[in-house]
Amino acid sequence: MTDLLERKAVKQENKQNVSQRGLFGQSFSNIDQGSQKHQGQQPDSAFLTQQTVADIPQHMPPAKISIRDLNFYYGDFQALKNINIDIPDKKVTAFIGPSGCGKSTLLRTFNRMYDLYPGMRAEGNINLDGKNILGKDIDVNLLRAQVGMVFQKPTPFPMSIYDNVAFGVRLYEKLSKAEMDNRVEWALKKAALWLEVKDKLRASGLSLSGGQQQRLCIARGVATKPEVLLLDEPTSALDPISTGAIEELITDLKNDYTIAIVTHNMQQAARVSDYTAYMYLGDMVEMGETDQIFTNPAQKATEDYITGRYG
């Protein structure tokens, strides 16, 4: 009970901080290739003088993921430029910035999702527990079991609720029926969905509401017992009530997982994250503790964006 009260108090404080800064939320497409159309845009002159490599915040918890000198290309177009940040273990890190700034691209490098598409390449180092996942010796299938991902729109498979959750587990583990039943129940409980579906596990995952479908996707993501969970605008297609349920779930999940979330909703970033990183045109402008980013950012460009003067 004490933990719950403390969590609510922190959330309320974050909401007040957001309100005081006059923040706003809006929704954009998350196709980062579209950043080419922003090449001619600049906010104000102050932006041109700010640093483009984020200083790693002091006193940060141990890093689960360390990114060093990361560059990413769509063919000849450079979408990420010399990214240097740490993603702390068992914390929520939010990535914010205008459409096409590279947020979703960065997220997809953490599990090498870009490998599925020709002409895309990453250069530099992304160390997961000290091992560079960009190395040629990495088994990307095992990597994606270790680094789960939930997308912008719910993507349940056209199969039963049970089979949706069990799908990834069957690829990587050989469990007995009893063991699989326990794993499915465990994952659905982790996603706060078990009580709503326990009596209809053989019903189609497509029969669920939008919010339930997204929680089903989260259950599918955690069923393989990953260490990192990537959330790419997970609530942008959901109603406010479903959004609130997902945000509560994120707060609970960070006790067991390292979470990185992309969001265009600044209020959401303030509510759910411990650290926030602001990106612009492929550059990492600033990263810090969320309260600091939203109340006292080091870069004027960051303040201009989160207060709605730009973006």
Q: Which of 24-28, 62-66, 74-78, 99-103 has the lowest mean pLDDT?
A: 24-28
Instruction: Give 225-268 pLDDT, tens digit per residue.
Output: 999 999 999 999 899 999 999 999 999 999 999 999 999 999 99
CB 158 within 8 A of CB 167: no
Instruction: Give 190-222 pLDDT, tens digit per residue.
Output: 999 999 999 999 999 999 999 999 999 999 999
Grade residue 60 by pLDDT with cuts at 50, 70 and 90: confident
* pLDDT above 70: percentage of residues in the chain: 80
> Which amino acid, residue 71?
N
Is the predicted pLDDT of residue 44 greater than 90, yes or no? no
The CA distance from 286 to 300, in Å, is 10
Is the predicted pLDDT of residue 28 greater than 60, yes or no? no
Helix and strand tally (H, E) in the chain?
11, 10
Segment 6-17 mean pLDDT: 46
Tokens of 76: 């000849």
Give all domains of the chain, ordered by start, each with its CATH number.
2-24+51-133+140-306 (3.40.50.300)
Instruction: Give 255-306 pLDDT, tens digit per residue.
Output: 999 999 999 999 999 999 999 999 999 999 999 999 999 999 999 999 999 9
Grade residue 8 by pLDDT with cuts at 50, 70 and 90: very low
Q: What is the mean pLDDT of the chain?
A: 85
pLDDT of 57: 63
Helical H segments across the chain, by residue range: 2-21, 103-109, 140-146, 161-172, 177-190, 194-197, 210-223, 240-253, 266-272, 290-295, 300-306
From the list 242, 258, 219, 248, the residue with the least C-alpha distance to 107 is 258
Question: CA-based angle 61:79:133, to the nearest 5?
Answer: 50
CB 258 within 8 A of CB 87: yes
Instruction: Give 141-151 pLDDT, tens digit per residue.
Output: 999 999 999 99
pLDDT of 55: 57
CB 124 within 8 A of CB 68: yes
pLDDT of 36: 41
Is the predicted pLDDT of residue 23 greater than 90, yes or no? no
pLDDT of 134: 97
The CA distance from 51 to 247, in Å, is 32
